[in-house]
Structure 1
Amino acid sequence: MLRRAQHAVLALVMVSTGAVFGVTVTAGTAHAASNCGQPITGLPLQQGSQGTSVERLQIRVAGFVDSGEVLSTDGIYGGRTKEAVRKFQKQYGLQADGIAGSQTVDKIYSLQDSDCTPIHFSYAEWNKCNSNWSGGAVSATAAKANARKSMWKLEALRAKTGGGAIQISSGFRSNSCNAAVGGVQGSRHTYGDAADMPGTQARRCQLHNGAKSSGFREILGQGFPGHNDHTHVGMTGSRQWHGC
């Protein structure tokens, strides 16, 4: 709620500034500030498109997949990317044609903050271990990138499960932080792509089941040893779904 309030205050300041100085604040101007320095260009992007913009798009729609599917973020706009875009568009009331035009990209921009994380999640809540993302199973840069990709999947999960808040009780852990809380050796938390989500049993099971079609391979919840108070999602080589 605090992050939404901050967005609202910023919007009012922008409008007020435009009124006082006679500056017209257009939709394009507002969205330009929301591309977080990683604009999605070359629109429309569609099946056959390739490049960095496709990869940026794929990261943001990777949570809109079939059950058990993990969307590749390879910068190649294939049939699975088209289907993920179509599901994203349908979720947000856009024309569901699987083509990423200006309306689709504008919607993506409206869902992200200036650091490229989705509006309902942050690096700070994902990393309560240390400030520099170091000491895990991968480099600090890789851990932070993994976290951002996972946040976008949770943004999709949040939308698909009614828009209710998702709390993160544990995200990235360095190896030492992981050992301190009794985490298993090689935990996906040390890679930055895992998160634990507490809540009521009903909510945890809702998130557990929704995560199956949100691009996660590792889903551990109610009934799995050590997971009766949270649902854990992460990435791993082979699929592991337990609980609920």
Structure 2
Amino acid sequence: MRRRLSTLLAAIALAMTGLVVLSSTTPANADACYTWSRTLKAGATGADVSQLQIRVAGWAGYRTNMAVDGSYGPQTTTAVKNFQAAYGLSADGVAGPDTFTKLYGLQKDDCSPAHFSWTEVDGGCGVGGYSGGSVSSSTVKANLLRAMWRAEALRHRMGDIPLRVTSGFRSQSCDRSVGGSGTGQHTYGRAIDVVPVNGNTTLCRIAQAARYVSFGTLLGPGYPDHNDHVHVDIRPDRIFWSAPSCGI
């Protein structure tokens, strides 16, 4: 009896030890939006890499319009390193438990980043929603998610100064009604217009910081019709910046 009890206690101790080891090597706990199940590093591919890229693309560096392609290459490594450094983590370029835990803390259950919301970026002209654009509603939302995460990077880079999106997605009819072409980047969900909150910073400071957060297009003060906001968008394979009043 005593021997069986000793054996049982030893088994329990071993199991508890195993659980401790498991918890220290598992990437992170389940998350309501997205959960990574493995550590990611250079050479990895897959949908989990794409999900990581969506969230760290804003840290890829100056004049880098980072692709979300599911391939963990040099740009992704750099973006992860810069993200880690910006949030006080060990900057090794490998996305593991600490990196995922920080990302979980930054995203809400609906996958939007902590300081921006879907209600800021949905349909303009008082309509709401994501239909009537140049692409499907699902593509619009996927593009807006990428834009919001880059805006989150912009906000943090500026010292967590609050920013506000004044225009996100527009249907084609809405875009035409405000003087657009009807097929501009807002109709794809790729573009957002950003302003400071309560005069806490300047449009020029926003424009200057936006050069470092993977926005391919940047239009601000001094560019026609952009003196009251900074337009940024994530259209692929393009770098075009113009904010003459800000020296850009």
- Normalised by the length of structure 2, the TM-score is 0.81
Number of aligned positions between the proteins: 213
Alignment check: 8 A CA contact 2:85 2:91 kept:
yes
Alignment check: 8 A CA contact 2:203 2:230 kept:
yes
Q: How does 1:61-80 map to 2 (within 5 A)?
A: 61-80=56-75
Alignment check: 8 A CA contact 1:221 1:230 kept:
yes
Corresponding position: 1:177 with 2:174 = yes
Corresponding position: 1:238 with 2:233 = no
Q: Distance in 2 between matches of 1:213 and 1:139?
A: 29
Q: Distance in 1 between matches of 2:66 and 2:238?
A: 15
Moved more, 122-131 or 101-110: 122-131
Corresponding position: 1:36 with 2:35 = no
3-state SS in 2 of match to 1:169: strand
Distance 1:194 1:141, change over 3 A: same
> Which consecutive aligned stretches of 4+ in structure 1 deviate over 3 angstroms post-superposition?
199-202
Distance 1:241 1:48, change over 3 A: same
Corresponding position: 1:222 with 2:234 = no
Contiguous gaps of at least 5 residues in structure 1: 1-25
Q: Distance in 1 between matches of 2:75 and 2:64?
A: 9
Alignment check: 8 A CA contact 1:153 1:214 kept:
yes
CA displacement at 1:32 relative to structure 2:
4.2
Q: Distance in 2 between matches of 1:202 and 1:240?
A: 23
RMSD after superposition: 1.8
Q: Distance in 2 between matches of 1:198 and 1:211?
A: 12
One of 156, 166, 189 as aligned partner of 1:192: 189
Superposed CA offset, 1:104-135 (max 9, x none): 10000000000111011111111143343010
Which residue in the other structure is 2:130 paired with?
Answer: 133
Q: How does 1:7-86 map to 2 (within 5 A)?
A: 32=29, 35-43=31-39, 45-86=40-81
For 2:50, give the aligned amino acid.
Answer: E
3-state SS in 1 of match to 2:64: coil
CA displacement at 1:186 relative to structure 2:
2.4
Contiguous gaps of at least 5 residues in structure 2: 1-22
